[in-house]
Structure 1
């Protein structure tokens, strides 16, 4: 179980072109929804063909915006502060050639402008417009996926309450040549704590996902293709109907790799609660309502880091069903 060699991707690929959350329904929507549900129930992730993330937008992100930002002086990048765990600037980690910057509410032009001014007080309209366009495109994709999951679970009436307590963030990352040349790992295996994650890779690949049978498979970047993954908050909200996959980054070459990630998560201090309809005799509700903020704090606490399965440890689940 769990080979370290790169394998041909087994991740399902689904065409979501032409779909929009504001016009859900119809034969095309229902067919795509069935594919999304099957992929997430079996793999926790899939590759989405979504042309809103055009070649031009990717070139602007990875050919200009991200290299320009990460080339800024360290003291400039550290201006971004956050009270949230694993947000703001992250870098200078002893065993990793990795830097990232994460900030909230990228679907708001004001928030993007404020972040841009923090990095470039003199302004940088090109960077600002690129990130705004990227966030707009991926926000649409996240809304489509979340709506399809809720509909597939038969709990559509809870969609509005889920979205009303959802916030969004973007993470921009740079991966250098891994310090450990034996494993080539640039980012350790982990599961995302949030609701839904969408990963956009540069032309240099590196993202690997572990299938539920234990194999690590490479996710090849392709034009207009994005990787969609379920996070642990959705795992709990869905009462384990969908599960978050382990994933990691391995950089095999000598060039820097960039990625841009858009994700949804429960809003600060909101309570995550599984719909009552998702519990029955065969699948009793496993989780009491919990604070997402406290959950994330535990995952990155000393106790959480030491736990073999932090998710299970937080919820005091003693079996492997919630692995």
Structure 2
């Protein structure tokens, strides 16, 4: 059988040489477009990665290297872990790192719990006070409580100088609640009805049907909460008078943004002569604090990134 070229039907939008995976309504990329995309992406990558690179190199530099560079170090020389050893040997930063970790873990778990429960309740049309409660949630997008009323409320509840003041005032986000509610509403009602026919209650439906199908949105909302708790410093600045309870981000703001000097000795930054490391310069210690504050987010984000499209965009469109 002789092979003959298949001709497109008359009036077809198919053009010879067109990539088969490209939609018919999308025009072919120009030469400038094909060459410009990698250049633009490379520039964006450099703009994002170069400052982080400088911070990491400076945090690993010795006093001589920082002095020779006159500040931030770009070319790595005489690298040492002295700054990290001093920070993690006990004192202000070590304590703040533990506090931030505990607040992030406990706060994220608590926020996810109440967000899942509230979103599931608001996603059921026949639930009690469904419309009034949804209206109240949407109203928070337009009107915020303000700093002074929030402080007066926290003070009246006796939460000043307690770690609960860092969790309860921001325990639930209206945006995260709406996204999760929209995702729950996209779950086929037939699955929930069949579970109820089999005798499952609301809690069983939530844990055995809804949550297993909503891992993507739960992971993304959990990341949003975790990053929010990890990066939060304003509530700590308002509600914590005892600096021994400061989280890492408030320490970062105090000793880097405000250019204050980290205390040394007991309760502060200590050197480790037993390890044979010379004391790190103050600039390297400050940059090491920045690295310690950024690394957890960089480590967690790649594992959650794959869920973003399915968890947030689909939920938002369906809502």
TM-score (norm 2): 0.26
The structure with more strand, counted as a fraction of residues: 1
Say which structure, 1 or 2, has more relative contact order (CA 8 Å, 6+ apart).
2
The structure with more helix, counted as a fraction of residues: 2
- Higher Cα Rg, which structure: 2
